[in-house]
Structure formats: structure tokens, C-alpha cells
């Protein structure tokens, strides 16, 4: 079939075509009107040291220090993947978590090692107040666990955490994104609907 044949079929079935497009636009409008409010939160964890020691001993060399920082960054990522740590954080934030499975707890927080000394922590929640409390609880939990490790060390250059204030962004799909997308989908599906209608005639 040539292009003009497709246009002819669309013209012959313009009511069906238009109805499908309008249906998708209506669905887009319903989605915009009923979408639930949620917030995305991001924290940046910087790994530092409590002190420094001038020595020629290899274990205090900059290279080994960076390697140690990198391993500790991996430890932080591991902490936030632990259901126990996740539950402790939610408990500190006074967030109900009785119905969350171990798998759900392990996926509650997404931690990613950005560099040897930086870890990004991201999560989402439906309530802005909860977002602030959870962010504060994460800071407390990571600091507490780091301090527990510090108590096992006899050296003064053990790890310390510097954590920025959380960045909280409201998750919402805008009219400018949803409606054009639904229009494109509507045209696409409308085309195939009338092709099927034409085929079965």
C-alpha cells in the first residue's frame, strides 16, 4: 500500500481514529488528576578521617588510604542493603514497617559508590515530613555504625562521615510531558485499530 492509501483509510475511519486518540487523552487527564504525591530524596556521604598520622609506614600511604576509603564506601553501600539496617532507620524515623518483607527492606534505600570517598544514597516516600525524618535517621544510623567501628580501632585516623543536607524533590508528571506522550500513543494505537478494522471488513 502507498502512503495515500493509508491516508484514505484514515479519512474513511476518521471517527474511530479520533475516538481512540480522545480516549488516550482522557486517560492522560485522569492520570494527571489522580497521580499520587511522592518525593525523591538524595544524600551525599563523604568519607573523611578523624585525624592524620605522619609516618613512612606503608599502611598510612595515600594509596592505601584511598584503597581503605574505597572499601569503607563499599561497606556503607552494604549497610544500606541490609534489612536490619533499613529497619533500624525506619524505626528511628518512626515509620511503620511491619508489613515490609525482608526483600522490600533490602530495596528500600539505593546506595551507590560514586568514587572512593563518596556514596550517594537515594530513596522515595509519599510524605515530605517522612522524607526529612528518614534522611535524619539515615545520617544517625550511618554515623552510629561508623562510631562502633571506630571504637574497635586504636588509631586516631579512623573513618568519619560528612553528610550533606538532603535534597528533596517532588515527583510529579507534568501536563507538558503526559499529554504529548498520550497524544503520540493515541495516534499510534488509533492507526493500528483502523488498520485492523479495515482488514476485517
Distance CA 40, CA 192 (A): 37
- 157 and 181 housed in the same domain: no
Same domain, yes or no, for 153 and 193?
Answer: no
Same domain, 185 and 135: no
pLDDT in tens, 13-43: 888 889 999 999 999 999 988 888 889 999 9
Residue 193 φ/ψ, nearest 5 degrees? -65, -45
Mean pLDDT across the stretch 44-57?
Answer: 70
9/77 same-domain check:
no
**Based on the domain organization, do 118 and 92 belong to the same domain?**
yes
Q: Are residues 83 and 125 in the same domain?
A: yes
As a whole number of angstroms, the distance between CA 168 and CA 165 comes to 9
114 and 142 belong to one structural domain = yes
- On the 0-12 / 13-18 / 19+ scale of CB atoms within 10 A, 2 is exposed
85 and 156 fall within a common domain: yes
Tell whether 20 and 111 lie within a shared domain: no
Q: Which residue has the higher pLDDT, 111 or 171?
A: 111
In which band, very low, low, confident or very high, does the pLDDT at 60 lie, cut at 50, 70 and 90? low
- In a shared domain, residues 196 and 122: no
- Indicate whether 58 pLDDT > 50: no
The 10s digit of each residue's pLDDT in 141-169 is 999 998 888 777 665 557 888 888 888 88
Rounded-to-integer distance, Cα 63 and Cα 110, Å: 28
Domain that holds residue 128: 38-171
Q: Are residues 22 and 75 in the same domain?
A: no
Q: Give the count of domains, the chain.
A: 2
Give how far the C-alpha of residue 66 lies from the chain's centroid of Cα atoms, to the nearest Å: 27
Amino acid at each position: 500500500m502507498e502512503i495515500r492509501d493509508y491516508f484514505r483509510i484514515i479519512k474513511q475511519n476518521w471517527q474511530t481514529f479520533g475516538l481512540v486518540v480522545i480516549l488516550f487523552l482522557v486517560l492522560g487527564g485522569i492520570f494527571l488528576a489522580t497521580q499520587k504525591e511522592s518525593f525523591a530524596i538524595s544524600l551525599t556521604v563523604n568519607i573523611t578521617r578523624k585525624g592524620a598520622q605522619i609516618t613512612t609506614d606503608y599502611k598510612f600511604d595515600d594509596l592505601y588510604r584511598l584503597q581503605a576509603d574505597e572499601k569503607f564506601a563499599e561497606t556503607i553501600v552494604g549497610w544500606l542493603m541490609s534489612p536490619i539496617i533499613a529497619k533500624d532507620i525506619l524505626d528511628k524515623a518512626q515509620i511503620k514497617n511491619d508489613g515490609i518483607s525482608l526483600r522490600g527492606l533490602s530495596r528500600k534505600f539505593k546506595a551507590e559508590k560514586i568514587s572512593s570517598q563518596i556514596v550517594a544514597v537515594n530513596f522515595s516516600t509519599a510524605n515530605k515530613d517522612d522524607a526529612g525524618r528518614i534522611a535524619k535517621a539515615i545520617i544517625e544510623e550511618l554515623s552510629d555504625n561508623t562510631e562502633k567501628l571506630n571504637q574497635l580501632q586504636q588509631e586516631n585516623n579512623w573513618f568519619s562521615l560528612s553528610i550533606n543536607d538532603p535534597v528533596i524533590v517532588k515527583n510529579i508528571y507534568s501536563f507538558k510531558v503526559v499529554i504529548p506522550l498520550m497524544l503520540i500513543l493515541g495516534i499510534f494505537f488509533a492507526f493500528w485499530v483502523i488498520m485492523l478494522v479495515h482488514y476485517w471488513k
